[in-house]
Structure 1
Amino acid sequence: MNRLEGKRAIITGGAKGLGLATAQLFVEEGAKIAIVDFDGEAGREAAKVITEAGGEVYFHEVDVRDAEAIEATFATINEEMGGIDILVNSAGVVDSGVIAHETSIEEWREVIDTDLNGSFITSKFAVPYMLGKGGSIVNIASTAGLSSVCDGNAPYHAAKGGVVQMTKNFGISYAKKGIRCNCVCPGTTLTDLVRNDLINKFGSVEEGEPVYGAMHPMGRLGKPIETAYAILYLASDEAAWTTGVALPVDGGFTAA
C-alpha cells in the first residue's frame, strides 16, 4: 500500500529543488498535492510533468510572504482537494553569504521574511484545516539552523534557526490536538540554488562540488530525493509518535 494513500498535501516551493522532489515522491506514494510557489512558469511546468505521470496536482502562484493571499489560497485548496492533511514548507531563499556587517538590511529582511515568516504564515493558515482530524507539518530547515561554522550567512542561519525553534513550539502546542510538526535539516544538497552558488563562487559546479562535498563526512553533496524520503517519513503515519523533531539529513555534517 502507498504510504500516503488518501492524503492531501500542500507543498510550498514545490516548483523546484527539494520541493519538487518531494511533490513527485508524494504523488508516487498516493497523495493528492497542491504546489504553492511564486514562480508561475516553473510551477506550471512542474504540475504538467506530474500530471502527465498520472498524479493529481493543483498549482497556485502565490508568495508565502503574502498572508492574505495564503489564507485565500488555502481555502481554495481545501475545496479542491476536499481537505488538507499535510503541509510541507519548502519555499525559501538563501543569502549572498557575506559577513554580517556587510549584509544589507534589505537582504536580512528578505531572507527572514521568506524562510521564517513564510513558514509561520503557511502553518498558521494550514492548522485550522487539520484541527479535529489531525495532520502533519514538515518544515525545511537546514544544518545552518543547528550550527554555524562559517563567517557569513547571518540571515540564513537566523531564519533556519528560527524555523527549528518554531517547529518545536508547534510540535508541543498541537501535540494533544493530533497535529504533528517536525523539520528536516539538510546539509548542502545539489539543488538549482546550490548549483548557482557553486558557479558564482567557483566558476562551475564541477570545480565547487568537491569543495562543498569535503565539508561532509560522507564526502559528497546530498541529492534532493534523499531529503524527500525523510520528509515522506515525517509526513506519513509511520511517524505517528514523532513531533517537535529537527532531523539532520546531512551526510554526517552535524555529527562531526
Structure 2
Amino acid sequence: MRLEDKVAIVTGAASGIGRAIAEVFAEQGAKVVVSDINLPGAENVAAGIREAGGNAVAVKTDVADTEDVAAMISLAVNEYGTLDILVNNAGVMDNFEPAGDIDEAKWERVFSINANGVMLGSREALKIFREKKKGAIINIASIGGLYGARAGAAYTASKHAVIGFTKNTGFMYANEGIRCNAISPGAVETNIGASMTAINEFGMGRTQPGMALNPRIAKPVEIANVALFLASDEASFVNGAVIVADGGWSAY
C-alpha cells in the first residue's frame, strides 16, 4: 500500500481524471475526500470506493469559493484527523476562443476555477502542511499549459498560471517538507467537453494541425498512476516539477 493511512482530497473527483485518482489512491490505502460541485456524482464515487473496501467521503465544493474550499479542508480534518495530499484537479475548458473573441465573463469563469481554485485549495492546505512539516500538492495542469495551440486563450493562460504557481509553491516551501508538482496531461477520455458550449470556429481551426499530431487519447487511470507516484514517498525528491503525460504528443 503506497498511500497507507494517508488522507487525500481530490477536487473534481465525480468523473474523469479526478475520479480515477480518488479510486487509485483509495486502492493504495488512502482515506479520500471526494470533492466536486456535482454532489450526487461525488457521492456515487465515494460509495463505490467504500463498496470496494476503501475509505471515502464526499463533499460538494465550488473550488472558486473561499468558504467552500475552507469547508472541504475542514471536513478532511474532522473526518480523518489531518490532511496529507491535495490534488487540485477541478477544471473547465474554454470554447477555443482566441484573444480577439474573448468574453470577459467566460475568461473570469475559466480563471476562477482553473487558477483561483488551485490557489485557494493550496493556501488552505498549506496551513496544515506547514504545521506538520509535510504534505504533497498535485496540480492537474495540461499540455495546454506548456504550448499555445491546444485550446483557446483563456484555458491556455489559466493552465500556464497553474504551472507557474506550482513551480513557485514548490520552491517556496521546499525546506518545510512540502512538495508541489503538476501533471500536464495530453488528451484524456473525460467529460470536460461538457463545459464547452459554442466552439469558436476560427480558434478550433487554428489548433487542428497540432491536434492531428496526437498519437492517442489516454485513459484517466493512466494520469491517476502518475498522480499516485507524485503523492507517494517514492517521489520524495520530486518538487516543483511538471510531468508531461501525453503519449508522446509534445515529442513531435
Check whether TM > 0.5. yes
Instruction: Say which of 208, 212, 215 aligns to 2:213.
Output: 215
Q: What SS does the corresponding residue of 2:74 show, helix, strand or coil?
A: helix
Please give the per-residue CA displacement for 1:208-250, whole angstroms capped at 9, x wherever unaligned.
xxx997422xx21111111110111011100000100011000
Q: Which amino acid counterpart does residue 248 of structure 1 have in structure 2?
A: V
Residue 193 of structure 1: CA displacement? 2.1
Give the share of equivalent positions with the same residue, in percent: 39
Q: Which amino acid counterpart does residue 149 of structure 1 have in structure 2?
A: A
Count of matched residue pairs: 244
Q: What SS does the corresponding residue of 1:162 show, helix, strand or coil?
A: helix
C-alpha distance in 2 between matches for 1:214 and 1:153? 16
Query: Which residue of 1 is the match for residue 203 of structure 2?
Result: none
CA contact (8 A) 1:130 1:179 kept: yes
CA contact (8 A) 1:214 1:220 kept: no
C-alpha distance in 2 between matches for 1:76 and 1:88? 15
Q: Cα–Cα, structure 1 residues 136 and 97, in superposed 2: closer, same or farther, change >3 Å?
A: same
C-alpha distance in 1 between matches for 2:171 and 2:103? 35
Instruction: Say which of 218, 224, 230 aligns to 2:220.
Output: 224
Instruction: Say which of 220, 230, 245 aligns to 2:241.
Output: 245
Residue 76 of structure 1: CA displacement? 2.5
Q: What SS does the corresponding residue of 2:226 show, helix, strand or coil?
A: helix
Unaligned runs of 5+ in 2: 201-208
C-alpha distance in 1 between matches for 2:47 and 2:96? 34
RMSD value, Cα: 2.2
C-alpha distance in 2 between matches for 1:183 and 1:48? 28
Instruction: Say which of 208, 230, 234 aligns to 1:234.
Output: 230
C-alpha distance in 2 between matches for 1:196 and 1:80? 31
Q: Cα–Cα, structure 1 residues 125 and 195, in superposed 2: closer, same or farther, change >3 Å?
A: closer
Is 1:35 aligned with 2:29? no
Q: Which amino acid counterpart does residue 90 of structure 2 have in structure 1?
A: A
Residue 94 of structure 1: CA displacement? 0.5
TM-score by length of 2: 0.91
Q: What SS does the corresponding residue of 1:59 show, helix, strand or coil?
A: strand
C-alpha distance in 1 between matches for 2:75 and 2:220? 29
C-alpha distance in 1 between matches for 2:166 and 2:251? 21
C-alpha distance in 1 between matches for 2:221 and 2:72? 27
C-alpha distance in 2 between matches for 1:106 and 1:99? 15
C-alpha distance in 2 between matches for 1:196 and 1:244? 29
C-alpha distance in 2 between matches for 1:213 and 1:153? 13
